Amino acid sequence: MKLKKKIEVDVTPKECAVLFASMPSMDQAEFFNEVAEYVKNNYTRGFCFQLQWVTDDKILTDDGREIMSLIGDYS
């Protein structure tokens, strides 16, 4: 007997970060391609507003800001 069940999984930001940081470069590049595709199809105001909200969020640490900056520098 086979059962099919829908499950809901909540992935934490830390889990996403660990998964991303442990990916090979080709998978990380594909990740950014997928983010771009999602943004293109789902953001009506432009992704720049989301990035600004992240930048302004009090939870963003200096280390997190540095990573964002490095991504921008190497894009």
Per the structure, the count of domains in the chain is 1
Q: Alpha-carbon distance 63 to 1, whole Å?
A: 51
59 part of a folded domain: yes
Residue 54 CB partners (closer than 8 Å, separation 6+) = 60, 68
- Name the residue range of residue 30's domain: 24-73
Position 43 in a domain: yes
- H helical segments located in 8-46: 13-21, 25-42
Could you read off the pLDDT of 18-48 as tens digits, one per residue?
999 999 999 999 999 999 999 999 998 889 9
Residue 9 resides in a domain: no
Global pTM reads: 0.81
φ/ψ region of 46 (left if φ > 0, alpha if ψ in -120 to 50, else beta) reads left
- Residue 13, in any domain of the structure: no
Instruction: Specify the pLDDT at position 67.
Output: 96
pLDDT, tens digit, 9 for 90 and up, residues 44-66: 888 999 999 999 999 999 999 99
